[in-house]
A and B are shown apart, each in its own frame.
Chain A
Amino acid sequence: MADPARLKAANRRTGLMLFAIALLFFVGIIASRFIDNPLVSTGVVGGAVLLYLIVAIGRHLRP
């Protein structure tokens, strides 16, 4: 483990990044209803969720 200050900063970065992603999906799913073609915009939010998941999980799967 790194020294406490660096560790705290790293924790804060990870936490804020994850919080921002959650906030983005929350706002995104509501905002998608206000766009001209809701089917496409909802699909974009759904695709973003899937992409996030593939990237987030996939980057940990290196043997």
Chain B
Amino acid sequence: MSTIPHDAIVGGLPHDEHAHHPKGIMRWITTTNHKDIGTMYLWFSFTMFLIGGMMALTIRSELFHPGLQIVDPEFFNSMTTLHGLIMIFGALMPGAVGFANWLIPMQIGAPDMAFARMNNWSFWLLPPAAIMLLLSLFVPGGAASGGWTMYPPLTVQSGMGMDLTIFAVHIMGASSIMGSINIITTILNLRAPGMTLMKLPLFCWTWLITAYLLIAVMPVLAGAVTMLLTDRHFGTSFFNAAGGGDPVLFQHVFWFFGHPEVYIIILPAFGIISEIIPVFSRKPLFGYASMVYAVAAIAILSFLVWAHHMFTTGLPAASILFYMYATMLIAVPTGVKVFNWLATMWKGSISLEAPMLFALGFLFLFTTGGFTGLILAIQPIDIQFQDTYYVVAHFHYVMVAGTLFAFFGGVYYWLPKWTGHMYDEKIADWHFWGSFIFFNVAFFPMHFLGLAGMPRRVPDYAQQFTDWNQVSTIGAFGFGLSQLLLLWAVLKCIRGGAPAPAKPWEGAMTLEWTLPSPPPYHSFETPPVVK
């Protein structure tokens, strides 16, 4: 049961509001309040999304015409590298943590996160790391340019920008581990009386499993980049073939982190979609228990498929077969989830407010990205598509149309709760349609370019790829401009608008909707009892 009838909750409504906290900038620097920290995470994520987006537009501008015209190839490579790192570690992961901070305590009836001070520290590690990453553009030799995967031997040889990147990854990893410890402890120890694990809202379930994943893989990434650092500066040869090391080992270790990372990013998005679809279909979520088991299965299987990123490195035939089939197997629990979302909507009384539009956009486009993933799982095909734009199209359908659309839907869904005002539905609808149309204009042609053999991470291309590249660049600018509508909608909602009731969506059944909108600074000081 993910939904809890509100008449089954006893007590727990907030006390009189005594919000004793510093004002001005000190409020944000010293805050230990989960709502403040959630807000900072979300703004940080959006800022990094815009910066990473500018880098994407630089890449797309260069690719508007064949030949070199705007940036030199080294800078182009730095842009592709930083775009990937910033979007993954700066925008998507902090965005998901922002939702977790705002919602998990309120959804489980807790007053705050378990380790409130560590929560503050987790956030404040991120801005210095991001600044370090961006400043690496200005050091001698420029920023890291070997791709977000940081493969040696190229990264062992590159300049000081790589050191800053490694340090930034360390810091962001530490922040993620601290955030995960906090989330697991909060969910396990601070649930309201009566809220058993199988009554948790699905968003909390997806985050619980995501946090376990983060604790498993972030130390592995930290270990890999530490070894890279010692190879660069302390004379070791972990990955240096000349000294007896093995460069391919780095790829194994990196993707042992990197593939679960995809699920770390998408699982919270699944949680958000699982909250939105039942509410706007006015039906309980179909197959709650199977959704939980599917998330667990996806998480565990995600550790058994990393080498599908390495089909071209010369794996033994038995390994190739194992990784092919294991990768295809992930489609089963993912299919269960898609089926359950569709079954939830089946014969429901659906209304198409912005959160539901984004959820439907997510369903359609994420499934497309999933299918191209299945195609890439087939090794003989992958050999052809490796490092082409087909791969770029695939992972943007998963990361952007999957995770980002879910985040957009989540923002509109909870914005009335966060701000106390209803958002402007018209702007939100424009935002959806602009994002949906231009996303496809930008990324669908990349399938054709990849099928025709255009390689990724190269600033020049053969003449015959020009048309689709131009379409893609126009789409990318349209998609980027559409995001200004999100900023407009959010700022307008913060500044005013129709007052939001405690429960603006009639089908909403989780605990946060029992609190007033906006919720008091300290919510659930007395835990509610869930019957």
Enumerate chain A interface residues (CB-CB to B < 8 A): 1, 7, 10-11, 14-15, 18-19, 21-30, 33, 38, 42, 45-46, 49-50, 52-54, 56-58, 60-63
- Establish whether residues B114 and A15, one from each chain, have CB atoms under 8 Å apart when the complex forms: yes
- Establish whether residues B185 and A25, one from each chain, have CB atoms under 8 Å apart when the complex forms: no
Knowing A53-B300, A61-B296, A63-B198 touch, does A15 contact B220 (C-beta < 8 A)?
no
- Establish whether residues B226 and A49, one from each chain, have CB atoms under 8 Å apart when the complex forms: no
Q: Would you give 23 A-B contacts (Cβ < 8 Å), ordered by A?
A: A1-B190, A1-B193, A7-B189, A10-B189, A14-B185, A18-B180, A19-B181, A23-B219, A24-B219, A25-B219, A25-B220, A26-B222, A26-B223, A29-B219, A33-B227, A46-B256, A46-B303, A49-B220, A50-B300, A50-B304, A57-B296, A61-B292, A62-B197
A38 to chain B: closest residue by CB: B249
Q: Kindly list chain B residues whose C-beta atoms are within 8 Å of the C-beta of A14.
A: 114, 181, 184-185, 188-189
A58 to chain B: closest residue by CB: B296
Q: Kindly list chain A residues whose C-beta atoms are within 8 Å of the C-beta of B238.
A: 33
B220 to chain A: closest residue by CB: A29
> B223: which of A18, A19, A29, A60 is its contact (CB, 8 Å)?
A29
3 closest Cβ contacts across the A-B interface? A29-B223, A26-B219, A25-B219
- Establish whether residues B190 and A18, one from each chain, have CB atoms under 8 Å apart when the complex forms: no
- Establish whether residues A61 and B300, one from each chain, have CB atoms under 8 Å apart when the complex forms: no
A-B contacts besides A14-B188, A15-B115, 12 pairs, CB < 8 Å: A7-B189, A15-B181, A19-B181, A22-B181, A26-B219, A26-B223, A33-B238, A45-B220, A53-B299, A54-B300, A57-B209, A63-B289
Interface membership of chain B positions 215-258, coded 1 if the CB is closer than 8 angstroms to chain A and 0 otherwise = 11111101110110000000000100000000001001100100
Q: Does B527 contact A (CB under 8 A)?
A: yes
A10 to chain B: closest residue by CB: B189
Q: Is the interface of A mostly helix, strand, loop or mixed?
A: helix
Q: How far is the CA of A1 from the CA of B180 in the complex (A)?
A: 21
| Count of residues in B whose CB is under 8 Å from the partner chain | 44
Q: How far is the CA of A45 from the CA of B299 in the complex (A)?
A: 18
Q: Does B509 contact A (CB under 8 A)?
A: no
B:162-221 near A, CB below 8 Å: 177, 180-182, 184-185, 188-190, 192-193, 197-198, 208-209, 212-213, 215-220
Q: How far is the CA of A58 from the CA of B293 in the complex (A)?
A: 9
B531 CB to closest chain A CB (Å) equals 16
B:261-311 near A, CB below 8 Å: 289, 292-293, 296, 299-300, 303-304
Q: Kindly list chain B residues whose C-beta atoms are within 8 Å of the C-beta of A45.
A: 220
A63 CB to closest chain B CB (Å) equals 6
Knowing A15-B181, A63-B198, A63-B289 touch, does A22 contact B215 (C-beta < 8 A)?
yes
- Establish whether residues A53 and B216, one from each chain, have CB atoms under 8 Å apart when the complex forms: yes
B304 to chain A: closest residue by CB: A50
Knowing A53-B213, A53-B300, A57-B212 touch, does A11 contact B114 (C-beta < 8 A)?
yes
